[in-house]
Structure 1
Amino acid sequence: MPLFVLASASPARLGVLRAAGVEPAVRVSGVDEDALTAALGASPSPEDVVRSLARAKAEAVAHEFDDAVVVGCDSMLSIGGELQGKPHSVDVARRRWASMAGRSGDLLTGHAVLRVSGGRTVATAAECSTTTVHFAEPSQPDIEAYLASGEPLEVAGAFTLDGLGGWFVDRIEGDPSSVIGIGLPLVRRLLADVGISMSDVWSADQ
Protein backbone atom coordinates (compact mmCIF):
# COMPACT_ATOMS: atom_id res chain seq x y z
CA MET A 1 0.00 0.00 0.00
CA PRO A 2 1.41 3.44 -0.90
CA LEU A 3 1.87 6.07 1.79
CA PHE A 4 -1.33 8.01 2.54
CA VAL A 5 -0.53 11.75 2.49
CA LEU A 6 -2.78 14.59 3.62
CA ALA A 7 -1.74 17.84 1.91
CA SER A 8 -3.26 20.08 4.56
CA ALA A 9 -2.41 21.77 7.84
CA SER A 10 -6.00 21.41 9.07
CA PRO A 11 -6.23 19.63 12.43
CA ALA A 12 -9.93 19.02 11.75
CA ARG A 13 -9.17 17.08 8.55
CA LEU A 14 -6.47 15.11 10.33
CA GLY A 15 -8.90 14.33 13.14
CA VAL A 16 -11.56 13.05 10.72
CA LEU A 17 -9.07 10.71 9.06
CA ARG A 18 -7.70 9.43 12.36
CA ALA A 19 -11.21 8.74 13.67
CA ALA A 20 -11.89 6.84 10.43
CA GLY A 21 -8.87 4.57 10.86
CA VAL A 22 -6.22 6.37 8.82
CA GLU A 23 -2.97 7.84 10.14
CA PRO A 24 -1.71 9.97 7.24
CA ALA A 25 1.61 11.63 6.68
CA VAL A 26 0.93 15.39 6.76
CA ARG A 27 2.51 17.83 4.34
CA VAL A 28 1.49 21.49 4.19
CA SER A 29 1.30 22.68 0.59
CA GLY A 30 1.92 26.38 1.05
CA VAL A 31 -0.31 27.18 -1.94
CA ASP A 32 -1.22 30.89 -2.27
CA GLU A 33 -4.99 30.46 -2.40
CA ASP A 34 -5.78 34.07 -3.33
CA ALA A 35 -3.26 34.12 -6.19
CA LEU A 36 -4.46 30.80 -7.58
CA THR A 37 -8.10 31.88 -7.41
CA ALA A 38 -7.27 35.11 -9.24
CA ALA A 39 -5.44 33.13 -11.92
CA LEU A 40 -8.62 31.16 -12.71
CA GLY A 41 -9.91 34.19 -14.60
CA ALA A 42 -13.28 35.89 -14.65
CA SER A 43 -16.21 34.30 -12.84
CA PRO A 44 -15.12 30.69 -12.29
CA SER A 45 -17.82 28.54 -10.73
CA PRO A 46 -17.55 27.95 -6.97
CA GLU A 47 -17.06 24.25 -7.70
CA ASP A 48 -14.17 25.00 -10.07
CA VAL A 49 -12.51 27.21 -7.45
CA VAL A 50 -12.47 24.62 -4.67
CA ARG A 51 -11.56 21.77 -7.03
CA SER A 52 -8.67 23.75 -8.48
CA LEU A 53 -7.38 24.70 -5.03
CA ALA A 54 -7.61 21.11 -3.79
CA ARG A 55 -5.74 19.83 -6.85
CA ALA A 56 -3.05 22.51 -6.51
CA LYS A 57 -2.45 21.60 -2.87
CA ALA A 58 -2.05 17.92 -3.68
CA GLU A 59 0.21 18.63 -6.67
CA ALA A 60 2.40 20.96 -4.60
CA VAL A 61 3.57 18.11 -2.34
CA ALA A 62 3.27 15.07 -4.64
CA HIS A 63 6.85 15.42 -5.91
CA GLU A 64 8.16 14.63 -2.40
CA PHE A 65 7.05 11.00 -2.63
CA ASP A 66 7.98 7.93 -4.64
CA ASP A 67 4.95 5.77 -3.82
CA ALA A 68 1.94 7.55 -2.30
CA VAL A 69 -1.67 8.57 -2.54
CA VAL A 70 -1.94 12.31 -1.88
CA VAL A 71 -5.21 13.95 -0.80
CA GLY A 72 -5.78 17.71 -1.10
CA CYS A 73 -8.86 19.59 0.06
CA ASP A 74 -10.24 23.11 0.05
CA SER A 75 -13.48 24.44 1.52
CA MET A 76 -15.49 27.61 0.99
CA LEU A 77 -18.96 28.78 1.96
CA SER A 78 -21.30 30.04 -0.76
CA ILE A 79 -23.97 32.30 0.70
CA GLY A 80 -25.94 35.12 -0.86
CA GLY A 81 -24.06 34.71 -4.12
CA GLU A 82 -20.67 35.25 -2.44
CA LEU A 83 -17.93 32.65 -2.03
CA GLN A 84 -16.24 32.93 1.36
CA GLY A 85 -12.96 31.40 2.49
CA LYS A 86 -11.17 32.08 5.77
CA PRO A 87 -11.91 35.52 7.26
CA HIS A 88 -8.46 35.90 8.94
CA SER A 89 -9.66 38.81 11.13
CA VAL A 90 -12.28 39.47 13.79
CA ASP A 91 -13.84 42.33 11.81
CA VAL A 92 -14.34 40.21 8.69
CA ALA A 93 -15.69 37.28 10.71
CA ARG A 94 -18.11 39.60 12.51
CA ARG A 95 -19.45 40.95 9.22
CA ARG A 96 -19.84 37.47 7.85
CA TRP A 97 -21.81 36.28 10.87
CA ALA A 98 -24.05 39.34 10.58
CA SER A 99 -24.95 38.18 7.06
CA MET A 100 -25.07 34.44 7.87
CA ALA A 101 -27.25 34.44 11.01
CA GLY A 102 -30.65 32.89 10.43
CA ARG A 103 -29.79 31.98 6.83
CA SER A 104 -28.49 28.94 4.97
CA GLY A 105 -25.47 28.52 2.73
CA ASP A 106 -23.69 25.82 0.78
CA LEU A 107 -20.39 24.56 2.14
CA LEU A 108 -18.37 23.42 -0.86
CA THR A 109 -15.32 21.21 -0.37
CA GLY A 110 -13.05 20.38 -3.27
CA HIS A 111 -11.23 17.05 -3.03
CA ALA A 112 -8.31 15.86 -5.16
CA VAL A 113 -6.59 12.47 -4.95
CA LEU A 114 -3.29 11.84 -6.73
CA ARG A 115 -1.70 8.41 -7.12
CA VAL A 116 2.07 8.74 -7.18
CA SER A 117 4.19 5.81 -8.36
CA GLY A 118 7.85 5.84 -9.24
CA GLY A 119 8.04 9.49 -8.27
CA ARG A 120 5.43 10.66 -10.78
CA THR A 121 1.68 11.15 -10.74
CA VAL A 122 0.03 8.29 -12.62
CA ALA A 123 -3.64 8.95 -11.80
CA THR A 124 -5.72 11.90 -10.60
CA ALA A 125 -9.33 12.19 -9.47
CA ALA A 126 -11.04 15.36 -8.27
CA GLU A 127 -14.57 16.36 -7.32
CA CYS A 128 -16.55 18.76 -5.15
CA SER A 129 -19.04 17.93 -2.41
CA THR A 130 -21.78 20.36 -1.38
CA THR A 131 -23.60 20.41 1.95
CA THR A 132 -26.28 22.93 2.90
CA VAL A 133 -25.75 24.50 6.32
CA HIS A 134 -28.61 26.20 8.21
CA PHE A 135 -27.30 28.77 10.66
CA ALA A 136 -28.91 29.84 13.94
CA GLU A 137 -29.26 33.45 15.07
CA PRO A 138 -26.84 33.71 17.99
CA SER A 139 -27.05 36.68 20.33
CA GLN A 140 -24.48 39.44 20.00
CA PRO A 141 -22.75 38.47 23.27
CA ASP A 142 -22.48 34.88 22.00
CA ILE A 143 -21.04 36.00 18.67
CA GLU A 144 -18.52 38.26 20.40
CA ALA A 145 -17.47 35.40 22.69
CA TYR A 146 -17.12 33.13 19.65
CA LEU A 147 -15.00 35.69 17.82
CA ALA A 148 -12.83 36.18 20.90
CA SER A 149 -12.11 32.44 20.94
CA GLY A 150 -10.24 32.82 17.65
CA GLU A 151 -11.83 29.67 16.24
CA PRO A 152 -13.73 31.22 13.30
CA LEU A 153 -10.81 33.27 11.98
CA GLU A 154 -8.95 30.51 10.11
CA VAL A 155 -11.79 28.28 8.93
CA ALA A 156 -13.86 28.49 5.76
CA GLY A 157 -17.08 30.43 6.24
CA ALA A 158 -16.07 31.57 9.76
CA PHE A 159 -17.64 28.56 11.46
CA THR A 160 -16.97 24.98 12.48
CA LEU A 161 -19.32 22.05 12.91
CA ASP A 162 -17.09 20.08 15.26
CA GLY A 163 -16.05 22.91 17.59
CA LEU A 164 -17.59 25.94 19.29
CA GLY A 165 -19.35 26.90 16.08
CA GLY A 166 -21.45 23.75 16.24
CA TRP A 167 -23.67 25.50 18.79
CA PHE A 168 -24.77 27.89 16.06
CA VAL A 169 -25.57 25.38 13.31
CA ASP A 170 -29.23 24.35 13.43
CA ARG A 171 -28.94 21.56 10.88
CA ILE A 172 -27.20 20.43 7.73
CA GLU A 173 -28.28 18.67 4.57
CA GLY A 174 -25.47 16.46 3.31
CA ASP A 175 -22.23 14.93 4.54
CA PRO A 176 -21.09 16.17 7.98
CA SER A 177 -17.49 15.04 7.45
CA SER A 178 -17.30 17.28 4.38
CA VAL A 179 -18.37 20.28 6.48
CA ILE A 180 -15.57 19.49 8.91
CA GLY A 181 -13.20 19.61 5.97
CA ILE A 182 -12.80 16.22 4.28
CA GLY A 183 -15.73 14.19 2.99
CA LEU A 184 -15.16 10.51 3.70
CA PRO A 185 -17.74 9.17 1.20
CA LEU A 186 -16.30 11.27 -1.62
CA VAL A 187 -12.68 10.49 -0.75
CA ARG A 188 -13.55 6.78 -0.76
CA ARG A 189 -14.91 7.10 -4.30
CA LEU A 190 -11.92 9.12 -5.47
CA LEU A 191 -9.50 6.60 -3.97
CA ALA A 192 -11.30 3.87 -5.91
CA ASP A 193 -10.93 5.96 -9.07
CA VAL A 194 -7.12 5.86 -8.66
CA GLY A 195 -7.07 2.16 -7.78
CA ILE A 196 -7.03 2.27 -3.96
CA SER A 197 -9.62 0.51 -1.77
CA MET A 198 -10.47 1.20 1.86
CA SER A 199 -9.29 -2.29 2.80
CA ASP A 200 -5.90 -1.33 1.36
CA VAL A 201 -5.82 1.87 3.42
CA TRP A 202 -6.85 0.19 6.67
CA SER A 203 -4.44 -2.73 6.19
CA ALA A 204 -1.55 -0.34 5.65
CA ASP A 205 -2.35 1.51 8.88
CA GLN A 206 -2.34 -1.61 11.06
Structure 2
Amino acid sequence: MGGGGRATGGPAFVLGSASPARLQVLRSAGLDPVVRVSQVDEDAVADALPAGTAPEGVVCALARAKAEAVATALIAEHADVVADCVVVGCDSMLLVDGELQGKPLTPEVARKRWAVMAGRSADLLTGHCVLRVRDSRIVAEASDCTGTTVHFTTPTAAELDAYIATAEPLQVAGAFTLDGRGGWFVDRIDGDPSSVIGIGLPLVRRLLGDVGVVVTQLWVGGTQLGSDATR
Protein backbone atom coordinates (compact mmCIF):
# COMPACT_ATOMS: atom_id res chain seq x y z
CA MET A 1 0.00 0.00 0.00
CA GLY A 2 1.55 3.29 -0.98
CA GLY A 3 0.96 6.49 -2.85
CA GLY A 4 -0.75 9.40 -1.20
CA GLY A 5 -0.41 13.10 -1.37
CA ARG A 6 -1.66 16.52 -0.51
CA ALA A 7 -3.39 19.50 -1.96
CA THR A 8 -1.36 22.56 -2.91
CA GLY A 9 -0.40 24.47 0.22
CA GLY A 10 -1.66 21.79 2.59
CA PRO A 11 0.20 19.22 4.68
CA ALA A 12 0.48 15.59 3.64
CA PHE A 13 -2.07 13.26 5.23
CA VAL A 14 -0.64 10.02 6.62
CA LEU A 15 -3.01 7.22 7.59
CA GLY A 16 -1.47 4.96 10.21
CA SER A 17 -3.60 1.93 9.37
CA ALA A 18 -3.69 -1.07 7.05
CA SER A 19 -7.49 -0.95 6.92
CA PRO A 20 -8.80 -0.84 3.34
CA ALA A 21 -12.14 0.41 4.70
CA ARG A 22 -10.55 3.46 6.38
CA LEU A 23 -8.58 4.21 3.25
CA GLN A 24 -11.70 4.02 1.09
CA VAL A 25 -13.63 6.35 3.42
CA LEU A 26 -10.87 8.95 3.12
CA ARG A 27 -10.54 8.57 -0.64
CA SER A 28 -14.29 8.92 -1.08
CA ALA A 29 -14.09 12.09 1.01
CA GLY A 30 -11.51 13.70 -1.28
CA LEU A 31 -8.18 12.69 0.28
CA ASP A 32 -5.33 10.62 -1.11
CA PRO A 33 -3.49 9.46 2.02
CA VAL A 34 0.01 8.17 2.43
CA VAL A 35 -0.46 4.78 4.09
CA ARG A 36 1.85 3.50 6.82
CA VAL A 37 1.17 0.51 9.05
CA SER A 38 2.13 1.09 12.66
CA GLN A 39 2.99 -2.49 13.71
CA VAL A 40 1.96 -1.57 17.27
CA ASP A 41 1.34 -4.47 19.66
CA GLU A 42 -2.22 -3.52 20.62
CA ASP A 43 -2.48 -6.05 23.45
CA ALA A 44 0.74 -4.77 25.02
CA VAL A 45 -0.46 -1.15 24.87
CA ALA A 46 -3.81 -2.04 26.42
CA ASP A 47 -2.20 -4.19 29.12
CA ALA A 48 0.08 -1.30 30.13
CA LEU A 49 -2.82 1.06 30.81
CA PRO A 50 -3.82 1.71 34.43
CA ALA A 51 -6.45 -0.60 35.86
CA GLY A 52 -9.92 0.83 35.46
CA THR A 53 -9.14 2.85 32.33
CA ALA A 54 -12.46 3.72 30.69
CA PRO A 55 -13.24 2.02 27.37
CA GLU A 56 -12.98 5.39 25.60
CA GLY A 57 -9.54 5.85 27.11
CA VAL A 58 -8.42 2.45 25.88
CA VAL A 59 -9.28 3.08 22.23
CA CYS A 60 -7.78 6.59 22.37
CA ALA A 61 -4.55 5.25 23.87
CA LEU A 62 -4.33 2.64 21.11
CA ALA A 63 -4.97 5.26 18.44
CA ARG A 64 -2.26 7.50 19.88
CA ALA A 65 0.23 4.63 20.07
CA LYS A 66 -0.33 3.90 16.39
CA ALA A 67 -0.04 7.53 15.30
CA GLU A 68 3.08 8.08 17.40
CA ALA A 69 4.76 4.92 16.08
CA VAL A 70 4.17 5.99 12.49
CA ALA A 71 5.30 9.58 13.09
CA THR A 72 8.44 8.40 14.89
CA ALA A 73 9.30 6.00 12.04
CA LEU A 74 8.82 8.67 9.39
CA ILE A 75 11.02 11.11 11.31
CA ALA A 76 13.74 8.47 11.74
CA GLU A 77 13.65 7.75 8.01
CA HIS A 78 13.85 11.46 7.13
CA ALA A 79 10.81 10.94 4.90
CA ASP A 80 9.82 13.89 2.73
CA VAL A 81 6.42 14.22 4.39
CA VAL A 82 7.85 15.10 7.81
CA ALA A 83 8.49 18.63 6.56
CA ASP A 84 4.74 19.12 7.03
CA CYS A 85 2.18 16.38 7.58
CA VAL A 86 -0.60 15.12 9.80
CA VAL A 87 -0.50 11.52 11.01
CA VAL A 88 -3.81 9.93 11.95
CA GLY A 89 -4.14 6.78 14.05
CA CYS A 90 -7.43 5.01 14.81
CA ASP A 91 -8.60 2.06 16.84
CA SER A 92 -12.09 0.56 16.97
CA MET A 93 -13.59 -1.84 19.50
CA LEU A 94 -17.13 -2.97 20.22
CA LEU A 95 -18.43 -2.45 23.75
CA VAL A 96 -20.81 -5.26 24.71
CA ASP A 97 -22.06 -5.68 28.27
CA GLY A 98 -19.25 -3.44 29.50
CA GLU A 99 -16.52 -5.47 27.78
CA LEU A 100 -14.41 -4.25 24.88
CA GLN A 101 -14.15 -6.63 21.94
CA GLY A 102 -11.52 -6.31 19.26
CA LYS A 103 -10.85 -8.60 16.31
CA PRO A 104 -12.00 -12.18 16.96
CA LEU A 105 -9.27 -13.66 14.72
CA THR A 106 -10.78 -17.18 14.77
CA PRO A 107 -14.13 -18.57 13.59
CA GLU A 108 -14.81 -19.96 17.06
CA VAL A 109 -14.46 -16.57 18.75
CA ALA A 110 -16.49 -14.86 16.02
CA ARG A 111 -19.31 -17.35 16.52
CA LYS A 112 -19.32 -16.82 20.30
CA ARG A 113 -19.47 -13.06 19.84
CA TRP A 114 -22.36 -13.25 17.44
CA ALA A 115 -24.21 -15.47 19.90
CA VAL A 116 -24.05 -12.53 22.34
CA MET A 117 -24.61 -9.70 19.80
CA ALA A 118 -27.47 -11.11 17.74
CA GLY A 119 -30.74 -9.28 18.22
CA ARG A 120 -29.14 -6.73 20.53
CA SER A 121 -27.38 -3.37 20.37
CA ALA A 122 -23.78 -2.49 21.23
CA ASP A 123 -21.57 0.58 21.10
CA LEU A 124 -18.80 0.77 18.51
CA LEU A 125 -16.06 2.98 19.98
CA THR A 126 -13.41 4.44 17.69
CA GLY A 127 -10.44 6.30 19.12
CA HIS A 128 -8.76 8.89 16.90
CA CYS A 129 -5.41 10.63 17.30
CA VAL A 130 -4.07 13.35 15.00
CA LEU A 131 -0.41 14.38 15.22
CA ARG A 132 0.92 17.43 13.38
CA VAL A 133 4.52 17.01 12.26
CA ARG A 134 6.62 19.92 11.03
CA ASP A 135 10.34 19.96 10.32
CA SER A 136 10.68 16.42 11.67
CA ARG A 137 9.07 17.23 15.02
CA ILE A 138 5.65 16.49 16.49
CA VAL A 139 4.36 19.98 17.21
CA ALA A 140 0.68 19.39 18.05
CA GLU A 141 -1.67 16.60 19.04
CA ALA A 142 -5.41 16.12 19.33
CA SER A 143 -7.39 13.00 20.19
CA ASP A 144 -10.94 11.94 20.99
CA CYS A 145 -13.36 9.05 20.68
CA THR A 146 -16.64 8.56 18.87
CA GLY A 147 -19.34 6.18 20.00
CA THR A 148 -22.05 4.82 17.70
CA THR A 149 -24.77 2.43 18.76
CA VAL A 150 -25.19 -0.51 16.40
CA HIS A 151 -28.44 -2.49 16.41
CA PHE A 152 -27.92 -6.04 15.18
CA THR A 153 -30.48 -8.39 13.68
CA THR A 154 -30.41 -12.12 14.34
CA PRO A 155 -28.91 -14.05 11.42
CA THR A 156 -30.10 -17.58 10.86
CA ALA A 157 -27.67 -20.40 11.63
CA ALA A 158 -27.05 -20.89 7.92
CA GLU A 159 -26.47 -17.16 7.37
CA LEU A 160 -24.01 -16.97 10.26
CA ASP A 161 -22.15 -20.05 9.00
CA ALA A 162 -21.87 -18.47 5.56
CA TYR A 163 -20.75 -15.12 6.97
CA ILE A 164 -18.06 -16.61 9.17
CA ALA A 165 -16.89 -18.77 6.25
CA THR A 166 -16.07 -15.60 4.29
CA ALA A 167 -13.48 -14.74 7.00
CA GLU A 168 -14.65 -11.12 6.84
CA PRO A 169 -15.61 -10.92 10.53
CA LEU A 170 -12.34 -12.40 11.77
CA GLN A 171 -10.16 -9.34 11.20
CA VAL A 172 -12.55 -6.53 12.15
CA ALA A 173 -13.54 -5.06 15.50
CA GLY A 174 -16.69 -6.60 16.89
CA ALA A 175 -16.80 -9.36 14.24
CA PHE A 176 -18.82 -7.33 11.76
CA THR A 177 -18.53 -4.68 9.07
CA LEU A 178 -21.09 -2.07 8.15
CA ASP A 179 -19.77 -1.61 4.62
CA GLY A 180 -19.35 -5.29 3.75
CA ARG A 181 -21.31 -8.52 4.10
CA GLY A 182 -21.91 -7.76 7.75
CA GLY A 183 -24.16 -4.89 6.72
CA TRP A 184 -26.90 -7.42 5.97
CA PHE A 185 -27.14 -8.09 9.70
CA VAL A 186 -27.26 -4.51 10.99
CA ASP A 187 -30.78 -3.17 11.44
CA ARG A 188 -29.70 0.43 12.05
CA ILE A 189 -27.13 2.63 13.74
CA ASP A 190 -27.42 5.66 15.98
CA GLY A 191 -24.46 7.89 15.23
CA ASP A 192 -21.75 8.45 12.62
CA PRO A 193 -21.59 5.69 9.96
CA SER A 194 -18.04 6.59 8.92
CA SER A 195 -16.90 5.99 12.49
CA VAL A 196 -18.40 2.49 12.41
CA ILE A 197 -16.42 1.81 9.24
CA GLY A 198 -13.30 2.85 11.14
CA ILE A 199 -12.60 6.59 10.85
CA GLY A 200 -15.11 9.27 11.79
CA LEU A 201 -14.97 12.11 9.28
CA PRO A 202 -16.74 14.72 11.47
CA LEU A 203 -14.40 14.02 14.39
CA VAL A 204 -11.26 13.95 12.23
CA ARG A 205 -12.29 17.30 10.75
CA ARG A 206 -12.50 18.77 14.27
CA LEU A 207 -9.22 17.23 15.39
CA LEU A 208 -7.48 18.55 12.28
CA GLY A 209 -8.75 22.00 13.19
CA ASP A 210 -7.34 21.55 16.69
CA VAL A 211 -3.85 21.06 15.20
CA GLY A 212 -4.22 23.98 12.80
CA VAL A 213 -5.33 22.24 9.62
CA VAL A 214 -8.46 23.02 7.62
CA VAL A 215 -9.76 19.81 6.08
CA THR A 216 -10.33 21.39 2.68
CA GLN A 217 -6.56 21.98 2.48
CA LEU A 218 -6.20 18.21 2.21
CA TRP A 219 -8.59 17.60 -0.66
CA VAL A 220 -7.11 16.20 -3.90
CA GLY A 221 -3.76 14.36 -3.98
CA GLY A 222 -0.51 15.39 -5.54
CA THR A 223 2.82 15.03 -3.75
CA GLN A 224 3.78 11.40 -3.22
CA LEU A 225 5.83 9.41 -0.77
CA GLY A 226 7.56 6.44 -2.36
CA SER A 227 6.19 2.92 -2.37
CA ASP A 228 8.78 1.84 0.22
CA ALA A 229 6.74 3.73 2.82
CA THR A 230 4.19 0.99 3.25
CA ARG A 231 5.10 -0.67 6.53
- 2:28 maps to 1:19: yes
| Matching of residue 150 in structure 1 with residue 159 in structure 2 | no
Aligned with residue 166 of structure 1, among 183, 192, 200: 183
| Residues 88-97 or 39-48, more deviating | 39-48
SS in 1 for 2:219: helix
Aligned ranges for residues 175-190 of structure 1 at < 5 Å? 175-190=192-207
- Does residue 38 (structure 1) correspond to residue 55 (structure 2)? The answer is no
2:132 to 103, 115, 128: 115
Matching of residue 102 in structure 1 with residue 122 in structure 2: no
Secondary structure class of the residue paired with 2:38: coil
AA in 2 matched with 1:53: L
How far the C-alpha of 1:203 sits from its partner, in A, is 5.5
Unaligned residue ranges in structure 2 (runs of 5+): 1-9, 75-81, 224-231
Letter in 1 for 2:144: E
Is contact 1:21–1:205 with CA below 8 Å preserved after alignment?
A: no
Cα drift, residue 30 of structure 1: 0.4
For residue 79 of structure 1, the aligned residue among 92, 96, 110 is: 96
Return the offset for 1:43: 2.0
Aligned length: 206
Distance 1:85 1:128 in 2: 16
* 2:226 alignment partner in structure 1: none
Q: Separation in 1 of the partners of 2:150 and 2:158?
A: 22
- Please tell me the residue identity of whatever aligns with 1:118: D
Superposed CA RMSD in Å reads 1.1
Alignment pair present for 1:50 and 2:59: yes
Q: From 196, 205, 218, give the equivalent of 1:201.
A: 218
| SS of 1:62 mapped into structure 2 | helix
Moved more, 40-49 or 108-117: 40-49
Moved over 3 A (4+): 203-206
CA deviations 1:110-156 (Å, max 9, x no partner) are 00000000101000000000000000000011001000000000000
Is 1:7 the equivalent of 2:16?
Answer: yes
- Alpha-carbon distance between aligned partners in 1 of 2:163 and 2:106, rounded to the nearest angstrom: 13
Higher RCO, Cα 8 Å, sep 6+: 2
> Unpaired runs of 5+ in structure 1?
none
Q: Per-residue deviation at 1:66?
A: 3.3
CA 205–196 in structure 1, closer or farther in 2 if over 3 Å, else same: farther
- Aligned with 2:216: secondary structure? helix
Residue 91 of structure 1 corresponds to: 108
